[in-house]
Structure 1
Amino acid sequence: MKRPLILASASPRRKELLELAGLDFKVVPSHALEPLPDDSESPEEYAVSMARIKAVEVAGRCPDAVVLGADSVVAVDMDILGKPVDEADAVRMLGMLSGRTHRVVTGVCVVMPGHEDRMFSVSTDVTMADISPEAARAYVETGEPMDKAGAYAVQGRAACFVTRINGSYTNVVGLPLAEVVSIFSEI
């Protein structure tokens, strides 16, 4: 890649994943406003839309760079769970996930000067064990779920709740690394 790469995200997990891939990049968090999902949007449409909003905002400030934007949501059926607004919301979300399979959807947008934006989403099915209300509250009290879509971190303490992952593990962490690296190998 001849142009500098910018990650339009303050997520430490996305930063760590790109570092694992050996990519040379700079972090420039997006300042874009993030609208709530529209009832007519699928989780995939919403995640891609949010990734594009973030990438385009940063590309406007860094016009000579390749900008990577991403947004992850947790979908229970068609309900989109973002980050919890408070501890009670986090406990509620964990209750929704308890004992069932949900999807983690990450939307990705790559903005490249002189090229059309590349946008896609990756979905991973995650199955959770039954989570007792006490276990949910104890987990929430650690503070870990408060900035995570769906109120959990698969790479953290919530790993003990996850019984099965069908699809990309890195997608659940916050960035479908194989797909992202594939795009960068093409440009």
Structure 2
Amino acid sequence: MANPLPLIPPQLILASASPRRRDLLGRIGIEPAAIVPADIDETPRKGELPRIYAARMASEKANVVAALKPECAVLSGDTVVAAGRRILPKAETEREARDCLNLLSGRRHRVLSAVTLVLPGGKAWHRLSESTVTIKRLHTDEIDSYIASGEWQGKSGGYAIQGFAEALIRTIAGSYSGIMGLPLYETRMLLLAAGLTRSGP
């Protein structure tokens, strides 16, 4: 009896236009076959908690792209900065970024980073990373300088940890890659379980 042919894993699609997520995948040796951003309404529902919102966004993004590419495995992520029960926006204006930084100044906040993997056939796996970040008490000139840098544009909570803001952060407890936008431990565990990556480097 002939040996069966080895199963060929499906191509992996990254449902995100974020260059950070693609770079992070590269750190664990993963190069997606294609980038297909998901165009969805990212407005939080009334009273929606940050953890639930992050998980819902990751799931909806993956499902939208999986419907377009049913023969592929689809990976998506969503990262939410939360002050208490409040979901902070992805800052699109200087005013939004300044408001976020003033709110986060001198206090602890959470970063929720959700990951969803949808396989051909529709099976979906989900993971969520929760990290705690403490930003120093910011002086007005520090906020002004950070706003002038432009690093805040499109970033949840009005800052990007992989830039100058890292020098303003006192402590981190959790996943650095999750705060950047894609928690690599959780992501690798999903890909490993699905046979889409190797067990070693």
With the length of structure 2 as denominator, give the TM-score of the two structures.
0.89
Within-5 A mapping of 1:30-179: 30-179=37-186
Aligned length: 187
Structure number with bigger Rg: 2
- C-alpha separation between the residues in 1 aligned to 2:78 and 2:55? 7
Partners of 2:38 and 2:184 in 1: how far apart?
A: 24
Q: Which amino acid aligns with 1:160?
A: A
Residue 146 of structure 1 deviates from its aligned partner by 0.8
2: distance between equivalents of 1:17 and 1:127?
Answer: 23
Contact kept, 8 Å, 2:127 with 2:186, in 1: the verdict is no
Under a length normalisation based on structure 1, what TM-score does the superposition of the two structures give?
A: 0.95
SS in 2 for 1:131: coil
Q: SS of the residue aligned with 1:144?
A: coil
Once the two structures are superposed, residues 52-106 of structure 1 have per-residue CA deviations (whole angstroms, 9 ceiling, x without a partner) of 1111111122111110111111000000012113001101100111001100011
Question: Following the alignment from structure 1 to structure 2, what is the Cα–Cα distance between the partners of residues 27 and 142?
Answer: 31
1:120 deviation in Å?
A: 2.6
Alignment RMSD, CA only?
1.3
Residue 197 of structure 2: aligned partner: none
- In the alignment, the residues of structure 2 paired with residue 8 and residue 80 of structure 1 have an alpha-carbon distance, to the nearest angstrom, of 22
CA distance in 2, matches of 1:61, 1:28: 12
Amino acid at match of 2:177: T
Q: Whole-Å Cα distance in 1 between the matches of residues 34 and 102 of structure 2?
A: 34
Which residue of structure 2 aligns with residue 180 of structure 1? 187
SS state at 2:157 partner: helix
Which ranges in structure 2 are unaligned for 5 or more consecutive residues? Answer: 1-7, 195-201
Q: Percent identity?
A: 37
Which range moved further: 104-113 or 33-42?
33-42
Q: Kindly indicate whether the alpha-carbon contact (under 8 Å) linking 1:30 and 1:57 is maintained by their aligned counterparts in 2.
A: no
Output one character per residue of 1:139-174: Cα deviation in whole Å (capped at 9) or x when no partner.
011111111111111111101111100011110010
Say whether the 8 Å CA contact 1:91–1:133 is kept in structure 2.
no
User: Alpha carbons of 1:136 and 1:29: their partners in 2 closer, same or farther (altered >3 Å)?
Assistant: farther
Q: Secondary structure at the residue paired with 2:152? A: helix
Inter-partner Cα distance in structure 2 for 1:29 and 1:177: 20
Report the CA distance shift for 1:7/1:148 in structure 2 as closer, same or farther (over 3 A): same
Unmatched segments (≥5 aa) in structure 1: none
SS in 2 for 1:147: coil
Given the superposition, is the C-alpha separation of residues 133 and 26 from structure 1 closer, same or farther in structure 2, using an over 3 Å criterion?
farther
